[in-house]
Chains A and B, each alone.
Chain A
Amino acid sequence: MQIFEQAAKSLDFLTEERRAMRWRKIWRKLLENKGAVFGLIMVLGVIFASIFAPLISPHDPILQDVEKRLLPPFWQAGANPAYILGTDHLGRDILSRLIYGARISLVISTSAVAFSAILGTIIGLLSGFYGGKIDNIFMRLADVQLAFPFILLAIAIIAVLGPNLQNIIIVMGITGWVIYARVIRAEVLSLREKEFITSIKALGGSNSRIIFKHLFPNVVPPCIVIISLEMARMIIMESALSFLGLGIQPPTPTWGGMLADGRVYLFTSWWLATFPGLVIMLVVLGINLLGNWMRDILDPRLTQL
């Protein structure tokens, strides 16, 4: 008995060691890829900014001060060094608003991505596994949805329902399910005929058991790749909605909303519109770089995404 236990322990130790080695290997690979490192820094930066916004913001993001309106960033003449990136048309600190804006961007895009990933994965699993009518209905639905200029559809729906957090997340989430469903369906179609699945079927495994215990773990890697790339799209979409005035409403700072405000002052105060867009671009670029790296590691077949 003791021998067994010992053997089990040493085996455990081995797998643990192996797992640690695998992580170390992935970490080393990450460090080799400069783009991925940049991406990781960007992503961690945004998460950090949104969690600790009240602690790291130099000013209150919605506090207006007419005397300090339209102050330029610190390196230009007439700047106030307390406002590093300057102030907007209502005298609010741009840097603080950018930091707080990360919250809205992150909360909405992660929620929307989670929503569409769950929806799309379930549909993809069911479509691929059952085929037939269910598959037909979902895939035709996907065709219909792909035919829409989705930003137009999203703004039409949000304009009708009203721009609140919940509606924005649901509408953005619904625009995203198709890609998960299609990729996962294709994956399941090829897995369905594999021996390990047919043998479970022969052993009398229930459909739900096959789908969730055996098929699902196999579609996780492509799913993670899509999630990472969809994050970038959702961040852009959230800021596009805010830009059009259909995002989270003022005075809550959003990157897209700041950009829209700044457009009016483009001819006199360039920094209002420039910084929010720069932040969006850097964050999206970071996520794309990290996503590309993850795709190469997890599932190189998905290069077309």
Chain B
Amino acid sequence: MKAYIIKRLFHSIFVLIGISIVVFIILHLTGDPAALLMPMDATPEQVAQFRQEMGFNDPLIVQYWRFFKGTLRGDFGQSFRHNQPALSLVLERMPATIQLTLAALAIALIIAIPVGIISAIKRNSLLDHLGMTGALLGQSTPVFWLGVMLILIFSVILQWFPSSGRGGIENLVLPAITLGMYSMARTARMMRSSMLEVLGQEYMKTAKAKGLSPQMVILKHALKNASIPVVTIVGMELGTLLGGAVITETIFAWPGVGRLAVQAIYNRDYPVVQAAVFILASIFVLVNLLVDIIYTYLDPRVKLG
């Protein structure tokens, strides 16, 4: 177990280094980061001077090493727009994104898990068909359209919820549903197939043969085993949610990291873009590391290695 965790840890560090390389490369894709970072109306002399100052004339590997050392210290440079270190700007917005992501995940799981279980138990019933049709619809709806339609119905027509900004719980409802819909649909389908698999196992027959009531069989035996894959789903969905937050935050003017990153891209504020992408990707890596470790405790059959 310990060896597995250490191996997994090294693996994560490797992925983090890979992420830092990609984030570094983004800025160098055009071949001339100085031209990208300077204002459009800068004179060639100004660009050349800036290039010299920033060390863009050094070999790429030297520049990457400098960037990498900066990353370790949490130094992504100053934001051009906000005159503030890029990292602190990203960290300031982090609580909003975490709140939205967790709310979306909670909504997704609270609805998806019962729907998946009921669909599996009442296989091929009307409930099952309804649930799975809903899930398919949820998986086919683009996040940005769902957000816009929820605003149209619940903010413009019914005026139940505000259409933008962050504040009380009423501000959280629409963005969380929007962001959580895709994960909800996918989790419901996975929960259903996981449950169906468990229901076909021998120990389910044993439990029934022992004379346990159907409710007890479902609750004590089926549910416990069927919920193991859900832990992995949570890890995977968190990545989807963090990515989806970029669009959801833009639609609802939610002051999180995703919206900050999109605005930074439009403003060509690349230190902030780099910091945001790096931090979001790192969170995803860490969550998955955690999920894998929890998983080995939950399911000892997992092959270690």
Contacts and interface: CB of A to CB of B under 8 A. Distances in A.
Contacts of B245: 149
B277 A148 contact: yes
Contact of A152 (B142, B143, B243): B243
Contacts of A259: 144-145, 148
A150 to B, nearest CB: 6
A239 to B, nearest CB: 6
Given A161-B30, A259-B144, A266-B148, A146 B239 contact: yes
Contact of A144 (B22, B156, B193, B265): B22
A172 interface: no
A107 interface: no
A174 B140 CA distance: 22
A187 to B, nearest CB: 20
B239 A232 contact: no
Interface in B1-48: 11, 14-15, 18-19, 22, 26-27, 29-30, 36
16 contacts: A147-B18, A148-B19, A148-B280, A152-B258, A152-B276, A152-B277, A159-B265, A160-B26, A240-B142, A240-B143, A245-B266, A266-B148, A267-B156, A273-B152, A274-B152, A281-B140
Given A160-B27, A289-B136, A151 B142 contact: no
A239 B22 contact: no
Given A152-B261, A244-B247, 8 more contacts: A148-B19, A148-B22, A156-B26, A236-B142, A273-B145, A277-B144, A288-B139, A304-B190
Contact of B262 (A147, A155, A161): A155
A44 interface: no
A143 interface: yes
B56 to A, nearest CB: 15
B100 to A, nearest CB: 14
B15 A155 contact: no
A216 interface: no
A259 B250 CA distance: 14
Contacts of A138: none
Contacts of A244: 247, 250, 262
Contacts of A289: 136
Interface residues of A, number: 45
B103 interface: no
Given A157-B26, A274-B149, A274-B152, A281 B15 contact: no
A148 B282 CA distance: 9
Nearest to B145: A277
A197 interface: no
A256 B156 contact: no
Interface string A251-291: 00000100100110011001001101110110011001100
A17 B26 CA distance: 56
B18 A256 contact: no
B140 A153 contact: no
Contacts of B19: 144, 147-148
